[in-house]
Amino acid sequence: MKIVIGSDHAGYRLKESVKNFLVGKGVDVEDVGTHSEESADYPLYAEKVARYIQDGKAERGILICGTGIGMSISANKFRGIRASLCTNEYMARMSRRHNNANILCLGSRVVGEDLALSIVSAWLDEEFEGGRHLKRLTIIEEWEGGKGSC
């Protein structure tokens, strides 16, 4: 599995920890930045990660900012992206099982490093259940194509 990872300045340190954790598990990781704690605009990194997934260059992505909120809002603007902000392992597991989340969003100021790594591990280990959940994702995909009433 290939995972693309990105962060803004607030998420930089946690991104580095998550990246090292993933590499240690044998995961192929592409880091699209930021590469320092200098101020950076989170939407630009959300776009990079989302486009990697849209273009088939990675199966999943991880985005990290201070709260994870900005990253999740930004990433979800892209067709086919299902970015989920998770603050615990249960949310991470369910985001995969029921929502087939392809981007995990974390808040570096919300979760500590140990919890973040546990969330990442739970998210990696889960698969989409399909079934009744596929019908719901199809509704969302129809909205993305302009057929919905949103």
- Paired with 107 in beta bridges are 65
62: left (phi over 0), alpha (psi -120 to 50) or beta: beta
Tell which residue, 93, 95, 65, 66, has the closest CA to residue 83: 95
> Is residue 98 among the annotated active site residues?
yes
Answer yes or no: 9 catalytic.
no
Set 98, 105, 133, 150: catalytic member: 98
Whether the CB-CB separation of 34 and 9 falls below 8 Å is answered with yes
CA nearest 95: which of 114, 57, 68, 56? Answer: 68
- CA neighbours closer than 13 Å in the CB half-sphere of residue 4: 23
- The active-site residue out of 9, 35, 65, 86 is 65
- Provide the angle, in degrees to the nearest 10, between the axes of the packed helices 113-125 and 89-97: 20
Q: Which residues are catalytic?
A: 65, 98
